[in-house]
Amino acid sequence: MYDSKTLIPSLKEFFNLHPIFSYRYFLGDAGFDSFDNYKYLFSKLGIIPIIPINPRNSKNLPQPTFNSDGIPTCPRDPSLKMSYDGIVREKGRATRIKWLCPMSKKVRLNGKTTYILQCDNPCTSSKCGRIFYTTLDIDFRKNTFFPRNSKKWSKLYEKRPIIEKSISLLKSSIAVDSFKLINTRSIKADVFLGAITQHIGLIITAKLGTFEHPLSLKKLLA
């Protein structure tokens, strides 16, 4: 477990046990260098963090850009999309999306998860390549839970036309797909009458045991 991840839960437990204790400064090594730790120490506890910069977290590193789908790209080559590596949920930290260097692969070796980097011009000294996080609650529009146009995204999104078609058929069957009225009370009456008609059709369908065309009275009575 990394120091950057254990600090917040450790401090929460400490101050629950010792609520009258107060401190002005927190002195930690570079292992505690993370945005969430700074925010928690200063904003929640009023403690000034004294933590050296971790070179791996340095903003001096070339920053990924984003393509039209909101997916971060390689800092060296914007044509290479970073790989979606799941959602990171940790107690006391913001929910984040983890992105992996496009030239790095996540593999299992000897029962352990490790990364293999195959890049001739890496932008970081990390052996696993560049890892980048986007925080969901900073920009929900850009930082989508699933990457746009990913397999998961496409599988879910392809259901949209089916839903729209179902809604269209439902509106058509009760004749509310194109109104010729402008009076809202008349429109409301039409919707109610159409719904009643549809229910009658479904009752007849159930009685006759014919379920092929439950929304079409013409085909039902033919």
Q: What pLDDT digit, counting tens, does each position of 156-189 carry?
A: 777 777 767 766 766 665 566 666 667 777 777 8
- 71 located within any domain: no
Looking at per-residue pLDDT, the higher value among 19 and 181 belongs to 19
- 110 located within any domain: yes
Q: What is the mean pLDDT of residues 9-29?
A: 87
- 94 located within any domain: yes
Judge whether residue 48 has pLDDT over 60. Answer: yes
Q: Which residues are within 8 A (CB) of 34 and not within 5 positions of it... i.e. 6 or more apart?
A: 4, 57
Both 141 and 164 in one domain: the answer is no
pLDDT of residue 58: 55
Q: What is the mean pLDDT of residues 2-24?
A: 84
- 72 located within any domain: no
Phi and psi torsions of 131, nearest 5°: -115, 130
CA distance 136 to 127: 26
Give CA 122 to chain center in angstroms. 28
Tell me the Ramachandran region of residue 74: left when phi exceeds 0, alpha when psi lies from -120 to 50, beta otherwise. Answer: beta
- 13 located within any domain: yes
Strand spans (E) along the chain: 25-27, 48-50, 83-88, 96-100, 104-109, 112-117, 131-135
Number of domains in the chain: 3
> Rounded to 10 degrees, what is the CA torsion of 130, 124, 120, 87?
-10
- 90 located within any domain: yes
- 151 located within any domain: no
Judge whether residue 74 has pLDDT over 50. Answer: yes
Q: What is the pTM of this model?
A: 0.45
Q: What is the mean pLDDT of residues 131-147?
A: 69
- 98 located within any domain: yes
pLDDT of residue 16: 92
Question: Which one, of 93, 2, 89, 1, lies nearest residue 39 by Cα?
Answer: 93
In which domain, by residue range, is 116 found? 83-145
Both 141 and 87 in one domain: the answer is yes
> Kind of pairing, strands 25-27 and 48-50?
parallel
CA distance 222 to 220: 6
pLDDT of residue 188: 78
Could you tell me if 7 and 37 are in contact, meaning their C-beta atoms sit under 8 angstroms apart? yes
CA distance 49 to 32: 10
Both 13 and 49 in one domain: the answer is yes
Both 140 and 90 in one domain: the answer is yes
Among 102, 122, 145, the domain-final residue is: 145
Residue 40, both tokens: 């928690």
Judge whether residue 1 has pLDDT over 60. Answer: no
Q: What is the mean pLDDT of the chain?
A: 77
